[in-house]
Chain A
Amino acid sequence: METRFQEMKRYARFGQDDAKLVARTKAYCAPHFTRIAQEFYDRIREHEDAHAVFTGEEQILRLQRSLVRWLDRLLAGTYDESYFGETIQIGRVHVKVGLPQHYMFTAMTLIRSELDRIIVANGGDAATRDALSRLIDLELGVMIEGYREHLSARIHAKSEHANQELTRTLARTEHRYISAVELAGVLIIGLDTTGAIRLFNREAERVTGYERDEMTGQPFIATLMAEDVVPTDGTRVARALAGESLDTPVFESVLRTRAGNLRDVRWQLAYAPADEEDEVVLFVMGQDVTDARAVEELARQHEKLAAVGTLAAGLAHEIRNPLNGAQLHVSFLERALKKAGAATPEMNEAIVVVGEEIKRLALLVSEFLDFARPKPLKVDPVVVQALCHRAVVLLAEQAAAARVQITEDLPAQELVIHGDSSKLEQVLLNLLQNGVEALAGGGGGHVVLRARRQPRVAVIEVEDDGPGLPRADAPIFDAFFSTKANGTGLGLAIVHRIVTDHNGTITVESRPGRTRFRVTVPLGNQ
């Protein structure tokens, strides 16, 4: 019997000759694969729904490699059962990550026109172009199969569900309860005695990104709770399921969404004993507090800063005046000793030390003022590539002295944000300098300055391969926290302030061998 793939090939009239024609293009197409993969994913970055399926920059890099392998395979010339078996697997991967189907078409069009252009440029004839085009149609058709499977599975599940509904005549009061559950602005999830999901309201769908019919029957703890909290909070849920009464029925925990993002949720558990096995026995109700947390944190920071700000100006004046006196007296002393011919090396050394200490105090005062009383932003369009490059140039000398190599990893397409270029430069200089200083002690190393476009933000990362932060949870963005012997403890607090003043975010990830600061700033057209 003819298989489904054979049938599709026959319909597309794709035969041995076509396969040979396609395979012949590989020699001149292959050098372009990496570039095509790059452009392919650059395009994805511009679309929020498509980009949302990604969990991080590493995944994107992995996918670029997958795409290069896929191109290699596409032009290999053998299109048998196992070839299409693989294609359908690739299709399923996309269904699983929740990529809307129409992106497959547009993405494939990009690949088609890139390859076509290369074939034309290399003198390929009409038959070759046509063969490739049909092969790509086949590939797309097979990948789309995954979506059809998914849809029929859902329709099946739905109709089963509808049947059950019919057999139970719901009283009107029950309808009201259902609306209440559906319209509630809290996640309401009902679990049966085995911990499987039986009820999943609209808010739960919204926050998790999963649909009700795919969640029905799934284990709540393993599917929705973030791995790290399963041992603690998962146990709590399991105990509640067993009917144990909890001393703290309200708790905060971390939920993992379909796209792999983490959300802070405040949960409340309510146990309702039932007779039947598949009845809901535990209601898990939750509120997404992720954004509220961020706002609270910001308010706390601003409050602290306002109080500090009123003190700052007066204090600066009180400190700078005596420093001025001290500085001039030291200059006088230096001159007097020289004139009298009485200066010994120790004396000169002492004078240098005092002078340096005065400068350090003066710097502290200046940084403190910058931090507590920042000047308003001067916002203009800023080209990220130019910004990054300037920062690297400014730091080149210091980096070379510390035997640190700074590498720029910037996108080819111009990336524009709205911001205060001198303040953003200060951010980059500060972060790069931190990286260089972190490496200087160990006799050198590498710092990478990376920029990427995402749908709504530019991401700038500064990464070093130094020893890492002493503690993962060190409050490094707080004022007066410093890990450096000579630091004022204000550098990163200022950086944090500048970034948040730009409506951006800054985070850090650190382990021995890699410390990465990640700054996001909204794109210029937002």
Chain B
Amino acid sequence: MDQGPAPGLPRPRILLVDDDTRTSRLLAHMLREDGFDVEFASNGAAAISRLTRTPMPDILVTDLHMPDVDGIAVTQFARSKEPLLPVVIVTGHPNMAIGLGATLIPLPVVLTKPIEYAKLAEELRRVSVGIVL
């Protein structure tokens, strides 16, 4: 697929965290078609428990607002394991995400809902180019 990463390279592994399972499943499906490996967690706690196991994902894509454990907490936990892990935060509250995420270095990419699929895929491809797989 033309939106995927360069052919011949290993498929980047994405951890997708979102409590809207119906939509995320669809998103995972499309990303897989476009050459990504996608794992899915439907809340923050599940994401953290996944992050205690190897292999670590190459990119974390997370919703901001989730009950109990939010996207910032997931990011902080992931970064404690993998300090340079690329993170994309998807949110209906872009200002809040930018505010809360300001202490995270490197800064997460913030995308405002509704996201355009093409834009997200493009962002992921851009990020995965910089990763040594």
Q: Which A residues lie at the B interface, using CB under 8 A? A: 313, 316-321, 323-329, 331-332, 335, 358-359, 362, 366, 375
Contacts and interface: CB of A to CB of B under 8 A. Distances in A.
Contacts of B23: 324-325, 328-329
Contact of A327 (B22, B30, B116): B116
Given A313-B93, A332-B26, A332-B30, A358 B117 contact: no
B114 A362 contact: yes
Contact of A316 (B29, B30, B93, B115): B93
B116 A331 contact: yes
Given A316-B92, A362-B114, 6 more contacts: A313-B93, A325-B22, A327-B116, A327-B117, A329-B26, A331-B30
Contacts of B113: 320-321, 323-324, 362
B95 interface: yes
Interface in B18-34: 20, 22-23, 26-27, 29-30, 33
Interface string B90-133: 10110100000000000000001111111000000000000000
Contact of A328 (B26, B92, B93, B95): B26
Contact of A331 (B20, B95, B112, B118): B118
B13 interface: no
A328 B117 CA distance: 6
Chain B interface residue number, banded: 20 to 34
A363 to B, nearest CB: 11
Nearest to B118: A331
B65 A317 contact: yes
A322 to B, nearest CB: 9
B26 A320 contact: no
Contacts of B116: 327, 331
Nearest to B23: A325
Contacts of A325: 20, 22-23
Contacts of B95: 375
A328 B27 contact: yes
A332 B33 CA distance: 11
A324 B94 CA distance: 14
Contacts, number: 58
B92 A327 contact: no
B30 A323 contact: no
**A-B complex: 6 closest residue pairs judged by Cβ atoms:** A320-B92, A324-B113, A327-B114, A331-B117, A323-B114, A320-B113
B93 A335 contact: no
A308 B70 CA distance: 26
A323 B92 CA distance: 10
Given A316-B92, A332-B26, A332-B30, A321 B20 contact: yes
B29 A317 contact: no
Contacts of B20: 321, 324-325
18 contacts: A317-B65, A318-B92, A319-B92, A320-B112, A324-B90, A324-B92, A324-B113, A325-B20, A325-B22, A327-B114, A327-B116, A328-B30, A328-B115, A328-B117, A329-B23, A331-B30, A331-B118, A362-B112
Given A317-B65, A375-B95, A324 B114 contact: yes
B27 to A, nearest CB: 6
Contacts of B30: 328, 331-332, 335
Contacts of A320: 92, 112-114
Nearest to A375: B95
A327 B30 CA distance: 13
Given A329-B23, A332-B26, A332-B30, A324 B115 contact: yes
A81 B23 CA distance: 92
A316 B26 CA distance: 23
Contacts of B29: 332
A358 B118 contact: no
A358 B114 contact: yes
Contacts of B22: 325
A317 B92 contact: yes
B84 to A, nearest CB: 28
Contacts of A321: 20, 92, 113
B131 to A, nearest CB: 24
Interface string B8-50: 0000000000001011001101100100000000000000000
A318 B114 CA distance: 11
A320 B112 CA distance: 8
Contacts of A358: 114
B88 to A, nearest CB: 14
Contacts of A332: 26, 29-30, 117
A327 B33 CA distance: 18
B81 to A, nearest CB: 28
A358 B30 CA distance: 20
A326 B115 CA distance: 10
A326 B114 contact: yes
B93 A317 contact: yes
A326 B26 CA distance: 11
A365 to B, nearest CB: 8
Contacts of A331: 30, 116-118
B111 to A, nearest CB: 10
A347 B113 CA distance: 25
Contacts of B117: 327-328, 331-332
Contacts of B118: 331
B94 to A, nearest CB: 9
A332 B28 CA distance: 11
Contacts of B112: 320, 362, 366
